[in-house]
Copies of this chain bind each other. A is one copy, B any other.
Amino acid sequence: MRNFDVEKYLADGKTAYGQRANIEALADKLTKRGFHNIVIIGIGGTWAEWSPVVQVMRHYTDLPIYLENAAELCVRTDKRFLTKDSLVITASASGDTKEILAAVKMCKEMGIEVAGFSKNGETPLAKELDYLIANPCGDCEDSYLMFFLLALKLLHNRGEFPDYVKFADQMSHLHTNLVRIREEFEPKAAQIARAYAKEPYNIFVGSGTLWGETFLFSMCILEEMQWVRTKSVTSADFFHGTLELVEKDVPVFLFKGEDEYRELDERVERFCKQHTEKLTVIDTREYRLEGIDDSFRVICSPMILTALVTERLAAHYELNTGHSLKFRRYYRQFDY
């Protein structure tokens, strides 16, 4: 596979999974400390990565959980939910995301502790955190894995996710599955990128547990790293405007999930099959997870999708657009 080092990937995966004990110890410490609600702070890609975690948590608990955009949290005047009794969690691999840093500093000034993920203890974010978990490799599936381990251990400690130990044990099989799944998808990735990388406009549709990744791939990968024009829309909203733009040569990408929102995705699929010849459906259900119970598939679905699109499909877009995934003209290039 182009630009993919299987051995390094599996070693990185071991490192990420190797944080399990630290994450569980942190969850236990936070449980002991106590909290009335959970406030998760992200922006852009990190907001998107927390989105399915929050959604899965809400499935298992009625503890109030807030997923906040860091920049908006800083300015909003209705912050009554953010108190010393909140458990505040954030993440920034680089540790220098401006808005995250500002939001964390604001929490600290309010006397509120913050737990978070960053690549190591030396980043500006790490230095502000009360509790740090190192996320040194930074593959999106590792972020998902670590966020879910923390989130579900916290629920487990409340008696709300009794299968936690089984789930966490089975996550040791995640990365080998995601290598095989990448290999299975590889010809499709090459073909999709060849067909669509130079399209002037692309519609991305997803929902529920996959909405975050739909938003992330469209905005943080294609727009930011490939200068490809996109519109991302949820499967429910698609029918309230965007549908009118579909015609036979308009590319529509549907990311089909495995949760209760699937029927909304299926409605989009039925419609688009009739009205565009350029429909690409990526259905996480088509990819087996060996050694992982079916009851954990919804949790794993964004990890599968990120391996398929944010990593593999992006690599093939780059090959076809000739635009390096590392090149930016504005983002983090100067102050704005």
Q: Which residue of B lies closest to A223 (CB)?
A: B241
Q: Which residue of B lies closest to A48 (CB)?
A: B240
Interface size class of A (residues with CB under 8 A): 35 or more
A45: which B residues are within 8 A, CB to CB?
240
A246: which B residues are within 8 A, CB to CB?
330
Please, how many angstroms separate the alpha-carbon atoms of A62 and B99 in the complex? Answer: 25
Q: Is the CB of A223 within 8 A of B236?
A: no
* Given A260-B75, A263-B75, A264-B72, also A219-B240 (CB < 8 A): yes
Q: Is the CB of B239 within 8 A of A75?
A: no
Question: Of the 9-residue stretches A22-30, A166-174, A224-232, which lies at the interface with chain B?
Answer: A224-232
Q: Chain A 221-263, CB within 8 Å of chain B: the 1/0 string?
A: 0011101011101111101111111100000000000001101
Q: Please give the residue numbers on chain A whose beta carbons come within 8 Å of chain B beta carbons, in ascending order.
A: 43-45, 47, 58-59, 62, 64, 69-72, 75-78, 80-81, 99, 200-201, 207-208, 218-220, 223-225, 227, 229-231, 233-237, 239-246, 260-261, 263-264, 267, 270-271, 275, 328-331, 336
CB of A94, distance to nearest CB on chain B (Å):
13
A261: which B residues are within 8 A, CB to CB?
72, 75-76
Indicate which residue in B77, B235, B245 contacts A260 across the interface (CB closer than 8 Å): B77
CB of A147, distance to nearest CB on chain B (Å):
18
Q: Which residue of B lies closest to A250 (CB)?
A: B229
CB of A322, distance to nearest CB on chain B (Å):
16
What 9 A-B pairs come out closest when comparing CB atoms?
Answer: A44-B240, A219-B241, A71-B236, A224-B241, A223-B241, A58-B78, A62-B80, A75-B260, A271-B336
Q: Is the CB of B271 within 8 A of A236?
A: no
A242: which B residues are within 8 A, CB to CB?
219, 223-224
Q: Is the CB of A227 within 8 A of B244?
A: yes
Please, how many angstroms separate the alpha-carbon atoms of A62 and B81 in the complex? Answer: 8
